[in-house]
Amino acid sequence: MKTLRAYRFALDLTPCQERAVLSHAGAGRKAYNWALARVKAVLDQRAAERSYGLADDALTPAMGWSLPALRKAWNAAKHEVAPWWRECSKEAYNTGLDALARGLKNWSDSRTGKRAGRKVGFPRFKAKHRTIPSVRFTTGTIRVEPDRKHVVLPRLGRLKLHESARKLARRLDAGTARIMSATVRRAGGRWFVAFTVQVDRTVRQPASGPVVGVDVGIKHLAVLSTGELVPNPRHLDAALVRLRALGRALSRKAGPNRRTRKDPSKRWLRAKARLGRAHARVAHLRRDGLHKLTTRLARGHARVVVEDLNVSGMLANRRLARHIADAGWGELRRQLAYKTVWNGGRLIVANRWYPSSKTCSACGVVKTKLILAERTYTCTTCGLVLDRDLNAARNLAALAAVVSTAGSGPAAGRGAIHKTRPGGQEAMKRQPGTATADKTGTVLPQCRTAA
């Protein structure tokens, strides 16, 4: 099976090489801003002409938003716009134009309803001091040196890696991988190179482990139906004292002034770099923990069941927003989605309205109300007393059997109504295994599979 995989390595650039990378990033930013200004001018001109009452066929010709159209317009005007264009690789300009083409398409699809999620705004101009420098190479010489400590990129030459690239080099030497692109980017005060690689993966047999339900939370990062409690490391909380001290130190330095166009001081830049490195360390620790957890779940269990949580809506709670963001629930589900496929498993996503916490895992009776402060689930029908999160995880694991009997489509297991009934009811009490119907009598799907 062929799949795309990313390999990311830290770089140790010399001052000369860093200037070259920044020059390429600036060239891409120049092409982006030029093309955006031209697109915006055409849109404004056509809007003004429509206000004058002109017919559509008499308007200024529209400008194409696709990458080939933007690249053609740039090649025709680059001699006047950027006489120095030969100093950088053509991939630098292609990076900026590709970013603009994607932004315009997302904005257009969001307006017409083709793109789900929150509304996407019109692309903005990129500034030097608020844009992360990045350049992407798709053509030319892109390879890993035999010593596995250096990489070669077009126009940038031979760059030293901070760590060995033996994992990627082994696949390249064996002929089971092919480099599609390489992206150089600065994050957290360090430079990284990320290779997008097409890998030939052998289809693994599903693990023989039991079905596992994963209930994520704040007190515990994940509670498994097997009874295991995965602690929440809370990396952000642990680093808050240092982050606040660095933030106060930054505020005491002379920063940039937009009104007077004053540049920041050298001490302000150094303080900002220290703060950025501290935030990057928190992000790296969080990513490392999530990768270890999701890899263990995907390799040890044939089927993994998770909830479809409205994380963006939960972040509106000002009391819990920081803790929810620090846990990384969305990243945990994203990693499980592709790692289960890699390991021959299956990810089952429970419906957002499925009452996993209110349902008794023993008899199936659904409580009418369960406040967040009740951390122990007590069933008034069968007398079950169990930890609230463990009870939810067991209910999630039970959904896998419903999916197996229903086939590949959505299963109609025990669920909850989507709207709150008068009196505060959020779920109906019924017998185990029965489906919930909405106002039209349609059975509500309770879970779906993610390939």
Q: Which of 215, 228, 374, 426 is catalytic?
A: 215
- Nearest-angstrom CA–CA distance, 410 and 444: 9
Is 307 an annotated catalytic residue? yes
Strand, coil or helix: what is 244? helix
- Nearest-angstrom CA–CA distance, 240 and 114: 40
Positive or negative CA dihedral for 235, 240, 242, 244?
Answer: positive
With a CB cutoff of 8 Å and minimum separation 6, the contacts of 254 are 262, 264, 265, 267, 268
DSSP symbol at 366: B
Nearest Cα residue to 188 out of 289, 276, 314: 276
For residue 174, with 0-12 CB atoms within 10 Å meaning exposed, 13-18 middle and 19 or more buried, which class applies?
A: exposed
Backbone angles phi, psi at 150, to 5 degrees: -140, 150
Nearest Cα residue to 94 out of 67, 76, 69: 67
Backbone angles phi, psi at 8, to 5 degrees: -120, 130
- Nearest-angstrom CA–CA distance, 396 and 304: 9
Q: Which residue has the tokens 């055409």?
A: 42
Strand, coil or helix: what is 125? coil
- Nearest-angstrom CA–CA distance, 132 and 191: 11
Backbone angles phi, psi at 173, to 5 degrees: -65, -35
Is residue 442 within 8 Å of 401, Cβ to Cβ? no
Q: Which residue has the tokens 């007077």?
A: 260
Q: What is the CA radius of gyration of the chain?
A: 27
Please state at what angle helix 67-81 crosses helix 15-51, rounded to 10 degrees.
110
With a CB cutoff of 8 Å and minimum separation 6, the contacts of 37 are 125
Is 389 an annotated catalytic residue? yes
- The two three-digit tokens of residue 99, written as one number: 């970013």
Is residue 214 within 8 Å of 396, Cβ to Cβ? yes
Q: Which of 91, 98, 326, 389 is catalytic?
A: 389
Helix (H) or strand (E) holding 222: strand 220-224
Positive or negative CA dihedral for 247, 251, 252, 258?
Answer: positive
- The two three-digit tokens of residue 378, written as one number: 């007590």
Q: Which residue has the tokens 């849109």?
A: 43
Known catalytic residues are 215, 307, 389
